[in-house]
Amino acid sequence: MKLSMAYAWSPGIHWFARRFAESLAPPHLGRVTLAYMNPKGYVSTKAQIHHAALFVGTHVFIGDGEVLFQHENGGKIKLDDFVVIHPDVIIENGADAGIRIGKHSSIHPWSQLRAQLSPIEIGSGVMLAAGCALYSYDHGIAGETPIRQQSLTSRGPIIVGDDAWLGTGATVLSGVRIGQGAVVGAGAVVTRDVPDYAIAVGNPARIVKYRNAAPPAPAT
């Protein structure tokens, strides 16, 4: 596998080298190790990337069935070092909105990050469990006009602080900030800010308690 990954980005043979490495690697989470074998990381041969402003750091993992899609006028998508995007995640943006995912963050299968009008900013060390949905926009609902013909609206960006954890199936709507070290329970619908180190559950999400952890000391 290491030899194949050494050639994973070589002109002319990169697809075949990655395909051979895939055939030797364990399935599912075991395949993430491929990204550590080459500073340029690993992009599955089954990923679908249609994006002219994609910036990828070192040792990034992009799994099977991943879709990275840029609508007209879409902003940048930036994946920082050691980001892990598990299979069947959709990340798309348009209307001048960008998406950034910080170092060592992981997005688990079937999650969706969709940015329009306002950006999505995910910090470092963030974990999104399977099936999370982050939408930085809504459809207008005025009058009797069909929803599909309504203009998009947004209450502002979605910001997820460092080391936050979103449980399975959590949904985050536009204009929400989830604080550093916060936890969002499975299936929660987050419509307002979640403070640092808070635990929020339910629909709409509400704060039930705070974690027994003090914020880290500032770097010196």
Residue 17 pLDDT grade (very low, low, confident, very high; cuts 50, 70, 90): confident
Residue 20 pLDDT grade (very low, low, confident, very high; cuts 50, 70, 90): confident
Of residues 111 and 27, more confidence is placed in 111
Catalytic residue from among 50, 71, 108, 139: 139
Degrees, nearest 5: CA angle 76-77-81: 130
- The per-residue pLDDT for 4 is 60
Does 50 participate in catalysis according to the annotation?
no
Yes or no: say if 188 and 205 are a contact pair by the CB < 8 Å rule: yes
Q: Does the structure show a pLDDT above 50 at 147?
A: yes
165-166 and 99-101 as β-strands: parallel, antiparallel, unpaired? unpaired
Task: Compute CA distances 95 → 10, 111, 137, 152, whole Å.
Answer: 34, 21, 10, 10
Taking only the tens place, the pLDDT of each residue in 46-72 is: 999 999 999 999 999 999 999 999 998
Q: Does the structure show a pLDDT above 90 at 113?
A: yes
pTM: 0.88
